[in-house]
Amino acid sequence: MKNKNNLVNKTGREIRVFSSFELKELRSENGETQDYVHGVPVVFNTPTCLWEYEGVKFYEQIDRHAFDNCDMSDVIFNYNHGGRVAARIRNNTLKLSLNDVCMEMEAYLGGTEYGRNLLEDIRGGYIDKMSFAFVVDVDGDEYDAATHTRTIKRIKKLYDVSAVDIPAYDTTSISARSFFEVEYEKERKALEQARLREICIAKSKI
Starting from the edge strand earliest in sequence, which strands make up the sheet with 149-152, in order?
48-53, 56-62, 149-152, 141-144
Residue-level pLDDT at 19: 56
* Residues contacting residue 168 through CB under 8 Å, at least 6 positions apart: 5, 80
Split into its structural domains, the chain has a count of 1
- Across 184-205, b (16+ Cβ under 10 Å) vs e yields beeeeeeeeeeeeeeeeeeeee
Residues of the chain with pLDDT under 70: 1-11, 18-22, 28-32, 166-177, 199, 202-203, 205-206
Query: Residue 77: which domain range?
Result: 3-204
Q: What is the Cβ-side half-sphere exposure of residue 3, based on CA atoms within 13 angstroms?
A: 29
Rounded to whole angstroms, how far apart are CA atoms 48 and 17? 11
Rounded to whole angstroms, how far apart are CA atoms 89 and 73? 7
